Chain A
Amino acid sequence: MNGFAALLTRDLRLAFRQGGDVANVVAFFALAVILFPFGVGPDPDLLARIAAGVLWVTALLAALLSLERLFDADFQDGSLEALSLMPVPLEIQVLAKCAAHWLTTGLPLTIIAPLLALVLHFDAAGYPALIAALLLGTPVLSLIGAIGAALTLGARRAGVLLSLLVLPLYIPVLIFGVAASEAAALGLESRPHLLLLAALLAGSLALAPWATAAALRQALE
């Protein structure tokens, strides 16, 4: 647990001291969402109908944007090799890195999402479900994304490759996230969707670190 906390604070400190990372992700998210009214027109009814989908798709892309740097800097300067020699299991370290990634992308996205939902005329009844769904769904994005980030370490054109690998795997999160947010906005029960999102989170919490650690080990060989 000590190793987990130490790695988490290290990554957070790095993210904040280098600065810009969190701001970039949030700025991308906001800008991409704001592009939609220009694309589909300012009709409030239409925007309200597509709001949940737009928010989720752009959140997903924003999370993807920062994934490439999850292990890459540590891989380039060799600290990943040093980390792999620590007595803390690599799986736990992966969890710490995912937690740091979520705190610097998923959480800020969740915080800013209601503001953007407001701009898109998203139905007021949908807000609690939207936030709950984002809180449950964005960690899954970090966890699944970590597998892709570890697999593409040292690859040519890793960024494009990463999106090709990870986006198909994001589809379930997108489906249940949008379903939960929309169901609540339409006055339907959003609980089943949230429970399924929670199940996805539990499943990926248990399985993704293993796959990521396996990928990291073969990258370090």
Chain B
Amino acid sequence: MQVPAHFEYERATSVDHALALLARWGGEARVVAGGHSLIPMMKLRLARPEALIDINDLTELSYLRLAGDELLLGAMTRHADLLASPLVGEHYPILHDAERVIADPIVRNRGTIGGSLCQADPSEDLSAAFAAIDAVAVIRGPSGARTVPVREFHTGPYETVVGPDELLTEIRVPIRPGGGSAYEKVERRVGDWAVAAAGAAIWLDGESAGGAGQPGIVRDVGIGLTAVGASHFHAAEAEASLRGAPATEENFAEAGRLAGAHCEPAADQRGPVDYKRHLASELTVRALRRAAARARGQEA
């Protein structure tokens, strides 16, 4: 049995209480939500916080709802709830695609979307999915709330903009009509971290999107990548190449090529660099293809 080093345990009763506890521990504490990354790291003694601040009682951070033209996701939303939500599936099937391949049902029942983003594992799936759909993170601290685009949320492997006295409380996703989205992942075994994965959201020009046999013009597009060292989980060059262009196989292939060319994968036991770069391209193309089909109403 692997046992962690000594730590103190605090149980927050409200967001304000959590923030007060964070302030009191001055950066030596870690927030625990689902705990599926943090606890194993503590048991391996790779993480040794002086205290854990348990926010599992903060049910006020567990919600999925529409507010105006935004989808609001509380940071304590469990993966399983995101996967089960018809509202999420209706607007962003990419999130359901991604959740289906995140770990296993046991982990998804406990793990939270806020925890996943804050853990900032370079192979994490939701980071790429939320980058693709240009979500915004709401962070609360001693002096109130601030918002940060997910595309600026991560500052490096296992590092985010969330300060030691701050708490991620919400993810906001803009709802825009005429879009489709999808997520494609390759893992060595079900539940494993991604060898590589790509998420794409695409909005096609209203006139041509439904036109018979017409591919449509790309009004906007978001492409997220994980596990391949893409800056901020995001394929900016690939997106730029597609905006305003017809949503054709040729243009998807070029976007895929750019996505592969502009990432910086590292070799590990999941695969060598050339393979991961290939996957970044291949999965970008596949995600775009499926997202476009969904935008055209050709695929669920």
The finding on whether chains A and B are genuine partners in a shared complex, rather than unrelated, reads no
Interface residues of A (CB under 8 A from B): none
